[in-house]
Amino acid sequence: MSVRTSPQHGFAAIAAIFLVVLLAALGGFMLTFSNTQQLTAAQDLQGSRAYWAARAGLAWAVAKIVATPGCPAGTPTTVDGFTVNVTCTPSSYVDGANTVLIYRLESRASLGTAGTNNYVERSVSASLEM
């Protein structure tokens, strides 16, 4: 009796190795994609926090102007870890016999170092007529 060998002998081992490599690559892609999604969600949250910190700076400036007319002296330096800068630019115009004051307010909140991946900044502005 003679034993015949098939030319496809060992094909199952090659297919198994190919499948293992393919599944490992797919797992690596899923890990990278998940990490990117997590970083994007974290940056979105930080952007929202920066917006509300800027809104807090703006509310502070409006309250100061309403309490004592004129641009407020100083500025809140930090709100929830964010650096907040509030600028106020007064202007006036005459409307008949009345002089109307308009305050242009801008509040900018930032966190991190500009040019890095974790830097976030938001600004809000408003005009207040007195």
In terms of C-beta distances under 8 Å and separation of at least 24 residues, what long-range contacts does 105-108 make, across chains too? 105/58, 105/61, 105/62, 105/65, 107/54, 107/55, 107/56, 107/57, 107/58, 107/61, 108/54, 108/57, 108/84
Q: Give the pLDDT mean for 21-26.
A: 94
Chain segment 100-123, per-residue pLDDT in tens:
999 999 999 999 998 888 899 999
Question: What is the model's pLDDT at position 3?
Answer: 64
Is pTM, for the whole model, over 0.95? no
Residue 82's identity, in one-letter code, is F
Residue 24 above 70 pLDDT? yes
Q: Give the pLDDT mean for 85-104.
A: 92
Cα distance between residue 129 and residue 74, in whole Å: 21
